[in-house]
Amino acid sequence: MPQKILITGASGLIGTRLTELLLAGGYSVVHLGRVKKMTHVQPFVWDVEKNEIDLEAIGETDAIIHLAGAGIADERWTASRKKEIVESRTRSTGLLLDALKKEKHSVKSFISASAIGYYGFGEDEVFVEESNSGSDFLAQVTKQWEGEVNKVSSLGIRLVKLRIGVVLSSQGGALEKMTKPVRFGLGSPLGSGKQYLSWIHIDDLCALFIKAIEDEKVVGTYNAVADWTTNAEMTKTIASVLKRPLWLPNVPSFILKVILGEMADIVLKGSKVSSQKILRTGFQFKYPALMEALENLFNKL
């Protein structure tokens, strides 16, 4: 019998592609979301705010992939939005944890999304999984998120946390936002352009989730990044692949701060994050080089 995989937050960028690849690989997939969308997989419903979940979603499940959480960059960071970002992660995890305690199940693996935001921002330091957490808002969100996820281990379930970097996809997300001005000849680096972006091709990220399902030796925390580059180099490489000119000066930091508020840190600051730990498991990135990754994604458009 194929393994049954339950995915939360499956309607997002990662969940959509991961579902496609799991089904192509012969897995049985079910989704757990806020509404019962009739798709090509069986849907189950939960209401995190009301602390309600369809317990049938857990039954006969071999692995849970937990992706649910409010989008970090979808809205300006007001006090209420910050609260939503945190609680959408911690409370949803807690709801799954309670369900696993109550319901008879066959879950052997729990693979949770996390983020390299855990480390905060740095210039020269290369962050590894053992590095300390940062002190900014995103670092605190991720620390609280992982703190709740860690409780799964007490149930005797193998736990894997993937700290995800900037995901490059042809279907939206960060790459779409970076590419649009370049296509119209308005591309330019943001701020100093020297801030680092630790990135990963979406298919490599999905392959990491699948490895986490299949390889029982994979346990604990892993950085889900292929490499790092600077904001300026990313912009330059996008323009090169698209064969578009770059002639505008850098976008000043103060303008981005006025437009985005505290959220400007996402684009004005960065970090170098190591992938060595996951490579030591035998995993190989299909797209380890930025130019190759972008050429593949732009050819899909």
Which is more confidently placed, 165 or 2? 165
pTM of the model as a whole? 0.95
> Is residue 60 predicted with pLDDT exceeding 90?
no
Residues in the chain: 301
Confidence of residue 142 (pLDDT cuts 50, 70, 90): very high
Average pLDDT over residues 139-166: 97
Which domains are present in the chain? 4-298 (3.40.50.720)
Assigned token pair, 143: 């620390």
> pLDDT (tens digit, 9 = 90+) per residue, 249-280?
889 888 888 888 888 888 889 999 999 999 99
Contact status, residue 273 vs residue 127, Cβ threshold 8 Å: yes
- What confidence score (pLDDT) does residue 248 get? 86
Alpha carbons 108 and 292: distance in angstroms, whole number: 36
Tokens 């030796």 belong to which residue?
A: 217
Task: Classify 249 as helix, strand or coil.
Answer: coil
Walk across the sheet containing 42-47 and list its strands. Answer: 52-53, 42-47, 28-33, 4-8, 63-66, 109-115, 158-164, 220-224
Q: Which stretch of 13-17, 262-266, 296-300 has the lowest confidence by average pLDDT?
A: 262-266
Average pLDDT over residues 44-64: 93
Contact status, residue 54 vs residue 44, Cβ threshold 8 Å: yes
> pLDDT (tens digit, 9 = 90+) per residue, 199-227?
999 999 999 999 999 999 999 999 999 99
Confidence of residue 282 (pLDDT cuts 50, 70, 90): very high
Alpha carbons 48 and 176: distance in angstroms, whole number: 30
Average pLDDT over residues 6-19: 95
> Is residue 80 predicted with pLDDT exceeding 90?
yes
Contact status, residue 225 vs residue 273, Cβ threshold 8 Å: yes
Q: Report the percentage of the chain scoring pLDDT > 70.
A: 99
Average pLDDT over residues 94-104: 93
- What confidence score (pLDDT) does residue 58 get? 92
- What confidence score (pLDDT) does residue 259 get? 83
Instruction: Find the Cα–Cα–Cα–Cα dihedral 65, 68, 74, 79, rounded to 10°.
Output: -140
Contact status, residue 138 vs residue 189, Cβ threshold 8 Å: no
Assigned token pair, 152: 């799964």
